[in-house]
């Protein structure tokens, strides 16, 4: 998996978590103290979430940070 693919996969996990909790892009922007445009770039994978942001998002969604990582493929090294 390339770094860009990984960033997109993490963004997908964040979007899924937000959907489960009925959170909006504006809510994400507010919790991360970023603009809605920057939040959009995080959510579409254009700009990756950094480690601190992922920790904040996991806490906000009340999920383990590991749940925001993409599933691993069996047999992948």
- Residue 26 belongs to domain with CATH number: 1.10.260.40
What was the pLDDT predicted at 39? 97
Q: Evaluate whether residue 9 is within a structural domain.
A: yes
**How many domains, the chain?**
1
pLDDT average, residue stretch 7-16 = 95
pTM over 0.85: yes
- DSSP one-letter string for the chain: --HHHHHHHHHHHHHHHHHHTT--HHHHHHHHT--HHHHHHHHTTSSPPPHHHHHHHHHHHTS-GGGGSPPPPTT--
Task: Give residue-wise pLDDT tens across range 33-54.
Answer: 999 999 999 999 999 999 999 9
pLDDT-derived band of residue 74, with 50, 70 and 90 as boundaries?
Answer: low
Q: Evaluate whether residue 29 is within a structural domain.
A: yes
Q: Evaluate whether residue 74 is within a structural domain.
A: no
Are the C-beta atoms of 68 and 10 separated by less than 8 Å? yes
Residue 33: C-alpha distances to residues 56, 66, 72 (Å): 11, 22, 30
Rounded to an integer, what distance in angstroms lies between the CA atom of residue 28 and that of residue 32?
Answer: 6
What was the pLDDT predicted at 73? 67
């Amino acid at each position: 998996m390339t770094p860009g693919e990984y960033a997109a996969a993490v963004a997908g996990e964040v979007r899924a978590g937000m959907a489960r909790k009925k959170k909006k892009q504006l809510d994400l922007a507010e919790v991360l103290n970023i603009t809605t445009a920057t939040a959009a770039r995080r959510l579409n994978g254009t700009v990756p979430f950094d480690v601190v942001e992922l920790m904040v998002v996991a806490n906000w969604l009340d999920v383990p940070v590991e749940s925001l990582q993409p599933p691993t493929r069996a047999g992948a090294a």
